[in-house]
Amino acid sequence: MTSKPGTYPTAIDIAVSVRSGERTASEVLEDHLARIGSSDAEIHAFNHVMVDEARSTAEAVDSAVEAGENPGPLAGVPVALKDNMCTRAVPTTCSSRILEGWKPPYDATVVQRLGVAGAVVIGKTNMDEFAMGSSTENSAFGPTRNPRDTSRVPGGSSGGSAAAVAAGFVPISLGSDTGGSIRQPAALCGVVGVKPTYGAVSRLGLIAFASSLDQIGPFANTVADAAVLLEVIAGHDPGDSTSIDEPFAELSPHLDDGVVGTRIGLITEMMGEGIDADVAARTREAADALEAAGATVEEVSIPAVTYGLSAYYLVAPAEASSNLARYDGVRYGNRVEGNTTDEMMFATRTQGFGDEVKRRIMLGAYALSAGYYDAFYGKALKVRTLIRADFQVAYEKFDVLLSPTSPSTAFPFGDKTSDPMAMYLNDVCTIPTNLAGHPAISVPFGAGDDGLPIGVQVLAPPRGEQQMFTTAAVLESAAPGDAE
Amino acid sequence: MNDRPSESPDNTESPANDGGADQSRISADDVAKVANLSRLTLDADELELFTHQLADILDHARDIESLDLDGVEPMARPLPLVNVFRADEPGEPLDRAEVLAAAPSVENDQFRVPPSLGER
Amino acid sequence: MSDATGTTIDLEKWEIVVGLEVHAELSTRTKLFSSAINQFGGEPNTNIDPLTLGLPGSLPVLNEQAVELAIRVGLALNCTVQPNEFSRKNYFYPDLPKDYQISQFDRPIDDEGHLELPDGTVIGVERAHLEEDTGKSTHVGGGGRIHDAGHSTIDYNRAGVPLLEIVGKPDIRSADQAKAYVSELRSILMAVGASDGKMEEGSMRVDCNVSVRPRGTTELGTRCEVKNVNSLRSLGRAIEYEAVRQVDMISAGERVQQQTRHWNEDDGRTHKLRSKEEADDYRFFPEPDLVEVDPGEEWIERVRAALPVLPAARRHRLSEASGVDLAKTAIVVERGLDELCLAAIDAGADPVRTLTHAEHNLSDERSLDLDPGAFASLVTMETGGDLTATQAKQVLAEMVSSGGSPADIARAKGFEAMDNSELEGIVDDLIAGSPDEWQRFLEGDTKVMGFFVGQVMKATRGQADGKVVTKLLNSRR
């Protein structure tokens, strides 16, 4: 099966029609449930579809409209959530056996905000286990297929959320991005994906992979839809100590501002070795398109980004080794019994986690362990400082930066599963922004030689989302569309 | 698991045995130690495979070893935030019944675990 | 000294070196990083929220009041209050909900201070840092057979309660000194409102690092850390037992191994928990879910200005005002009677008598409500000879229990001061009636003085002032 973005109504269209009474939220929901019903057996975007909960939410939205109230900017818009965001009384698994069947007793902040905005949460999407992976093949419940070519991976780790949007199951969804887990699957599935500035979106209720890198962000078929969704979920949350205590940028009113005079830097280190030729070519075309729209584009070197992958694969596993310690079979989740507490914990974790999770937990424990901390984790934290500093220098000269999102288009299942390092290289262009805490967006821009979508990444300085979205909107309108 | 000959860690090549090996490469002993620290059990095959894979990843990370990082401040958190507090005011507790219903084993409104050996 | 088993060590040859780590639960309303209630006891698993249980997705937010209390304690212990941050201490244990503890590692809030014991000895404080408490496991006994080894149940009400760990320097040299340190620390914590100091409820828990060395040497011996010390009494016993054990080992030619040991109250011994080699690799790293804390001058100075006068300063103040030895002021300050005594002394009361009464006759809690003026009058009546020591004690007791002025109470009790002429008559009659005893007194047998004083007291039903009687007798020689 193949499908293209743009053939389904956007979130903004749906919200307008629901608010005006032209359509009911319930009708909208049933349309989407029908599409899920007919195609998700093949795509496997969802771990869990919340049919009953979604129907009652939609009814509540409809009652509000009937009562003359405004249900909010996402009135009646179906939204899918990556299965690492806590939803009260609804299974939240991180696609892991260890949490299979677990129902959180509380909602994540983003879930609460979606509710306030009138959105209809429709289900929980498949992912690489605990968000560790770049293909969604590490899900304990089986992989998600790329709607653009079902023989290929959707990318990861938020593969389910990307595929759900690409397949038209939902107009918008949320993923989480630790090293590229929103942007890379967005690129591979041909949709828009945003990793906001660290601290822009609350992490409360997001099941942690690497706390200093994780951010929740939107997927959408259009830049405008992504902007609305981000505006809804962003903003200060006193429940997250790392949340930015200032109003989030206005995005939607500035999408048509254009890029005349915008200074754009094309990152040299992300255009050479390791990047497929077609991907590099589309990225150059994207730069040309921006130039044609009035921006100035120059190449810029950000030397420290070449150390991003190394730093990332020490920092993220280190934090993960600690964040995933709590899955010990004592308080929640699945337990494998043992004669002592220790035996129970060993058995629970050994049987509950998949190989990639175990690999990263052990790598992280090693990087933090006595005698190795300075050489590995400590050094990686210093590299983060260098990366941030190099970006800072670049942002003195440029407003936004440009690069490919992923080095290649979607790859076939099993292509990289036996070689962790090959899989990790998928994230080489996306990782540096996570390490720096900066925002970035992936916008579809044409197709590769194989006809599969290619994404171009716009990077911005911290809290620079407004100009980032404006630039993305220009790219979107200039995009050549699919090769097919 | 049985379709390949099982190897004990003793049979695998260890850096100690082939003199010229890079001493700083992660060894099977190191992996066994971090597996234990992480409450994970590895069989002999897994130990060999994980040792090999972790060594590859750490080899890649060698590129940062050559960097001169003296005087560079470590960046543990992306934002330079200071003094984020909450007021000392009670909030709504979780519903105990809901929480205990999700627990693997419960007794007398407490979480039940097998006996622990030793104490901290 | 001797340990529970009766063996002793020669304190002329050996020196005990002790450093204490005290965990004090801070008196906040809520937990260190979440809004669940901080309360002792209660139905199991009721003071819970997502963070308390370490639920996936939960996040910590620091309780400002806990920081405030840590600053108070830091200043009270003469520490530098500094910019600080939290780290994660990683280890698996079922009563630790996240399987890591949020603690402070290389950047504690309070650095380098000291406290002064009542006898004037100064004990160094290395640091004090904030961390979260664990839940509580209860072992449910099995039948003793292997397949019936019992199990444990866990209550997380205590998990996340704020602790201040106060790490003392190894400056303590005896079990008694260790007890004095803990009790002084307890007074300070209570004085600044940081903790309720209830050792029996676990509000203060002590780990002791004990080593021994030949007296006269300066190098520290290998230490053992003793845990599960839950009272001042067991603190003393544990240290003495452990010191004897270590000296015995060294004397037998063995080496003391660095270990963590468990104090067993029942058998009066310490037992090995784990050796240094078995110690966990805690893999500390900066807690990414929290941000740095920088109390800043303004906050620190605001706290400093609001601090009460602390026990050591109160002892010095009282000692200076009264001329009484510093060490003897401790009990008065501990009872909170120093303000009363100072006011009474200010009102003209004799300082030594004032403190003597406070030490011996004012253990009743209601003594705190005594009117300083009335107390001063009482002391003056006594020193002026209007009341005997015994009478003064009785009047004071009445003042404490029922209030009233000392003059009224004395009158009501019939403690009319005898004038000296009446007393002189009694004394002269007595001398006349006891010629033999008087002769012995004149020859220098001072023991007979007691006989005469006793007889006078008998004749006056205790209302005579012993000092006046002595003076009269001497004047008759």
- On the 0-12 / 13-18 / 19+ scale of CB atoms within 10 A, B23 is exposed
Percent of chain C at pLDDT above 70? 96
> DSSP characters for C387-428?
S-HHHHHHHHHHHHHH---HHHHHHHTT-PPPPHHHHHHHHH
CA angle (C357, C360, C365) in 5-degree steps: 90
Interface list for B 6-25 with A (CB within 8 A): none
Taking CB atoms and an 8 Å limit, are C29 and B88 in contact across chains?
Answer: yes
Mean pLDDT of chain A: 96
Taking CB atoms and an 8 Å limit, are A331 and C54 in contact across chains?
Answer: yes
Q: Which of C31, C52, C289, C293 should be substituted to probe chain A, the one whose Cβ sees the most A Cβ atoms within 10 Å?
A: C289
Distance from CA of B67 to the nearest CA of C (A): 22
pLDDT of residue A441: 98
Nearest to C138 by CA among C94, C99, C90, C202: C94
Q: Give residue B62's pLDDT band: very low, low, confident or very high (50, 70, 90).
A: confident
* C3 occurs within a structural domain: no
Residue pair A264/A400 in contact by the 8 Å Cβ criterion: yes
Percent of chain C at pLDDT above 90? 72
Q: Which of C153, C229, C270 should be substituted to probe chain B, the one whose Cβ sees the most B Cβ atoms within 10 Å?
A: C153
* B115 occurs within a structural domain: no
Residue of A nearest to B60 (CA): A310
Q: Is the pLDDT of residue B15 over 50?
A: no
Minimum mean pLDDT among A3-17, C26-40, C126-140, C302-316: which range? A3-17
* B57 occurs within a structural domain: yes
pLDDT of residue A305: 96
pLDDT of residue C219: 92
pLDDT of residue C419: 65
Q: Is the pLDDT of residue C5 over 90?
A: no
Percent of chain A at pLDDT above 70? 98
Do C223 and C364 fall within a single domain?
Answer: no
pLDDT tens per residue across span A217-231: 999 999 999 999 999
Minimum mean pLDDT among A391-400, B19-28, C209-218: which range? B19-28
| Averaged pLDDT, A125-150 | 98
Minimum mean pLDDT among B63-67, C131-135, C146-150: which range? C146-150
* B106 occurs within a structural domain: no
Do C290 and C333 fall within a single domain?
Answer: no
pLDDT of residue C4: 47
* C357 occurs within a structural domain: yes
Do C324 and C291 fall within a single domain?
Answer: no
- Chains touching chain A through at least 3 C-beta pairs below 8 angstroms are B, C
* C8 occurs within a structural domain: no
* C1 occurs within a structural domain: no
Give me the residues paired with residue C90 across strands.
Answer: C100
pLDDT tens per residue across span C6-62: 567 788 899 999 999 999 999 999 999 999 999 988 899 999 999 999 999 999 999
Positive/negative CA dihedral, A466, A471, A474, A479 = negative
Q: Is the pLDDT of residue C453 over 80?
A: yes
Q: Is C429 on the interface with A (CB under 8 A)?
A: no
Q: Could you list the residue range(s) of the whole structural domain that residue C102 is in? A: 14-304
Taking CB atoms and an 8 Å limit, are B87 and C64 in contact across chains?
Answer: yes
Domain count, chain C: 3
| Averaged pLDDT, C409-436 | 81
pLDDT tens per residue across span C101-114: 999 999 999 999 99
Q: Give residue C416's pLDDT band: very low, low, confident or very high (50, 70, 90).
A: low
* B24 occurs within a structural domain: yes
- The Cβ-side half-sphere exposure at A315, using a 13 Å CA radius, reads 35
| Averaged pLDDT, A329-357 | 97
Do C31 and C89 fall within a single domain?
Answer: yes
Which residues in chain A have their CB less than 8 angstroms from residue C281's CB?
A: 369-370
Nearest by CB to A241, from C98, C283, C289: name it.
C289
Do C28 and C162 fall within a single domain?
Answer: yes
Do C88 and C234 fall within a single domain?
Answer: yes
Mean pLDDT of chain C: 91
Q: Rounded CA gap, C202 and C230, in Å? A: 7
Which residues in chain A have their CB less than 8 angstroms from residue C289's CB?
A: 208, 211, 241-242
Residue of C nearest to A330 (CA): C94
Q: Rounded CA gap, C335 and C315, in Å? A: 12
Which residues in chain A have their CB less than 8 angstroms from residue B98's CB?
A: 105
| Catalytic residue list of A | 82, 157, 181
Question: Chains A and C: how many Cβ contacts under 8 Å?
Answer: 101
* B36 occurs within a structural domain: yes
Q: Which of C258, C279, C304 is the last residue of a domain?
A: C304
Which residues in chain A have their CB less than 8 angstroms from residue C288's CB?
A: 210-212, 242, 319
Q: Rounded CA gap, C244 and A467, in Å? A: 73
Residue C400 CB partners (closer than 8 Å, separation 6+) = C362, C364, C366, C367, C370
Nearest by CB to B53, from A359, A365, A388: name it.
A359
Domain count, chain B: 1
Nearest by CB to A326, from C98, C154, C156: name it.
C98
Do C403 and C462 fall within a single domain?
Answer: no
| Averaged pLDDT, A138-152 | 98
Q: Rounded CA gap, A75 and A68, in Å? A: 13
Do C89 and C174 fall within a single domain?
Answer: yes
Alpha helices (H) in A324-430, listed in sequence order = 341-352, 355-368, 379-397, 420-424
Q: Is B92 on the interface with A (CB under 8 A)?
A: no
Q: Is A199 on the interface with B (CB under 8 A)?
A: yes
Question: ipTM of this model?
Answer: 0.96
* B28 occurs within a structural domain: yes
| Averaged pLDDT, A451-475 | 98
Q: Is the pLDDT of residue A7 over 90?
A: no
* B21 occurs within a structural domain: yes
Do C336 and C232 fall within a single domain?
Answer: no
pLDDT of residue C477: 76
pLDDT tens per residue across span C163-178: 999 999 999 999 999 9
* C389 occurs within a structural domain: yes
Distance of CA A34 to the CA centre of its chain: 25
Do C148 and C277 fall within a single domain?
Answer: yes
Do C265 and C379 fall within a single domain?
Answer: no
Q: Which of C262, C280, C304 is the last residue of a domain?
A: C304
Do C22 and C169 fall within a single domain?
Answer: yes
Q: Could you list the residue range(s) of the whole structural domain that residue B16 is in? A: 1-65
Residue C314 CB partners (closer than 8 Å, separation 6+) = C329, C333, C338
* B7 occurs within a structural domain: yes
Residue of C nearest to A237 (CA): C61
pLDDT of residue C142: 67
* C380 occurs within a structural domain: yes
Could you tell me the two tokens for C10?
A: 């020669």
pLDDT tens per residue across span A304-337: 999 999 999 999 999 999 999 999 999 999 999 9
Question: Chains B and C: how many Cβ contacts under 8 Å?
Answer: 129
